[in-house]
Structure 1
Amino acid sequence: MLKFITFDLWETVIADSPELDSQRTKYRVGNTHTFLSKKHPAIAIERIFAAHKKTWQECSALWGKARDMAFPDQVRLFVGLIDESLLISLKQSEIQSISEIYAGAVLQFPPRLIEGARETLTHLSISGYKLGLICNTGRTPGFMLRKLLESHDILKYFDSVLFSDETIVRKPDAGIFEKSLRELQADKRQTVHVGDSWENDILGAQAAGIKTVWISPESQNQADCPVIKSIVELPEVLDKI
């Protein structure tokens, strides 16, 4: 009998778009440029755009190994790629100001809550399931994603919340799933993981010995686990697992 459910975040509980991502990029780059221009007017905005892109590329190489870096390290990487001398000349408080710009973009241009997600989480919680969240972060750190979840009034439903910039290990590594099991005090035989990424969520959870439900808008008959189009369909399949 299932007692525990862990969820992916992006495209499972919240939904993003290329337009929102682009707006967040412009926010980070533009506001970082405005901040740095006060003391470093020679730094062109194009240089900051390039550093923003390069930061993603370097992080992606690490993410491809199912590893992550702490958010302060990502910010320092970004600043150093703008100009390495800034890591020496800027005060810690100034780097913190850039960090706040970098992290805060998600609240300025927030992803939407998937339709029916709050109601589904409410139903599952009332039904007695213990819920966990396992999220691979990108540019937005866990502490800011917690604020986002609070703004959507859903953080309260999760008994365990894991973000890869804090755990340093990422999906699909079994380690992050095992950490979630420990925090939930869950038996993996009584646990199911729900997510939209075949590699990160489904194969990752299965490698940890956890049952899975795949969220895929297009039906995938070859999947060896239940497939649903949205989180709202989850309660219908739980009794069949």
Structure 2
Amino acid sequence: MPRPGVREWCAIAEARRVDRPLIRAVTYDFWNTLIGEHDSPEDQRVDRVMVALASVKADVAKEALLAATAAAESFYEVRWRENRPFSPEEWSAQVLGELSIDDPAAHDAVAAELHRGLPVTQRILAPGIADTLRTLKDAGIKVGIVCDVGITPSTALRGYLEHFEVLKYFDHWSFSDDVGIYKPDARIFDHALDGLGVAAGETAHVGDLRRTDVTGALGRGITAVRYRHWRDDQTELPEADMVLDHHPDLPAMLGIG
């Protein structure tokens, strides 16, 4: 069966307005929803970590560092799925442990590099998102972020948004390294709802992953919108209320404006 198109989603949204509150807030995931990447972040991170280690005279073969970072990424994946936050300092300790490097200066150098994040030149603003955020704000919609932070901390993520001149559109953000919880846990969505001053039924959440974004939003009674411009998540998990290919289509799909 073909997926509903934008017109069909608009009709669905209009029908829901009869028995559901109007949407007063929209929250967004960060990675692959607001911001994408030019190249593999793992490869870029390895190169920058090598420079950081060389700065404290801790020279490491690239092959060994690749293996160590792959192990750390796997460890992070486990922690993410267990809903146990994982900091840049822990990532640094994990990598250096794999390399048998016990040097506080090396640890500090790697952690500092992670806190800086990769260059903004390696980041891409999602097509049409700036205009969409402006449209939402002009319509009086509260806008927030609900994001699972990976290796790059939220201070750097907000810096990317500021660089692209869209941070100003957000009224509140709920980054996991601030809240201490990952999606799909309801508590990180509650943090966003409280910060925005809205109820779950008045809110839509846009994200790319079924396990975290869709399942978390649906579980909290928030309208789930799966964004698939960069990633079309085909895992056998619950589907969102709506599927979005182009950000500018969102207001009409939600019956806004």
**TMscore range, shorter length:** 0.7 to 0.9
The aligned residue for residue 83 of structure 1 is 100
TM-score of the pair, normalised by structure 2: 0.80
Displacement of 1:219 after TM fit?
11
Give 3-state SS (helix, strand or coil) of 2:204's partner: strand
Displacement of 1:147 after TM fit?
0.8
The aligned residue for residue 31 of structure 1 is 51
What amino acid sits opposite 1:7 in the alignment?
Y
Determine whether 1:56 maps to 2:77: no
Contact 1:110–1:148, Cα closer than 8 Å, also in 2: no
Equivalent pairs, count = 230
The aligned residue for residue 244 of structure 2 is 228
The aligned residue for residue 168 of structure 2 is 156
Displacement of 1:224 after TM fit?
5.5
Partners of 1:183 and 1:215 in 2: how far apart?
Answer: 23
Unpaired stretches in structure 2, ≥5 consecutive residues = 1-21
Partners of 2:40 and 2:64 in 1: how far apart?
Answer: 22
What amino acid sits opposite 2:159 in the alignment?
K
TM-score of the pair, normalised by structure 1: 0.85
Displacement of 1:7 after TM fit?
0.7
The aligned residue for residue 111 of structure 2 is 99
The 3 A distance-change label for structure 1 pair 137 and 62 is: same
Matches within 5 A, 1:175-194: 175-194=187-206
Equivalent residue for 2:126, pick from 85, 110, 114: 114
Contact 1:51–1:78, Cα closer than 8 Å, also in 2: yes
Determine whether 1:170 maps to 2:182: yes
The aligned residue for residue 126 of structure 1 is 138
Unpaired stretches in structure 1, ≥5 consecutive residues = none
Determine whether 1:21 maps to 2:41: yes
Displacement of 1:168 after TM fit?
2.5
Partners of 2:240 and 2:130 in 1: how far apart?
Answer: 27
The 3 A distance-change label for structure 1 pair 216 and 155 is: same
My pick for the range that moved more, 73-82 or 48-57, is 73-82
The 3 A distance-change label for structure 1 pair 71 and 29 is: closer
Displacement of 1:109 after TM fit?
4.7
What amino acid sits opposite 2:189 in the alignment?
F
Partners of 2:176 and 2:156 in 1: how far apart?
Answer: 13
Partners of 1:182 and 1:208 in 2: how far apart?
Answer: 13
Percent identity for Structure 1 against Structure 2 = 27
Partners of 1:44 and 1:26 in 2: how far apart?
Answer: 11
Contact 1:71–1:165, Cα closer than 8 Å, also in 2: no
Q: Give the aligned CA root-mean-square deviation in angstroms.
A: 2.4
Partners of 2:51 and 2:175 in 1: how far apart?
Answer: 26
Structure 1 runs, 4 residues or longer, greater than 4 Å off: 217-220
The aligned residue for residue 237 of structure 1 is 253
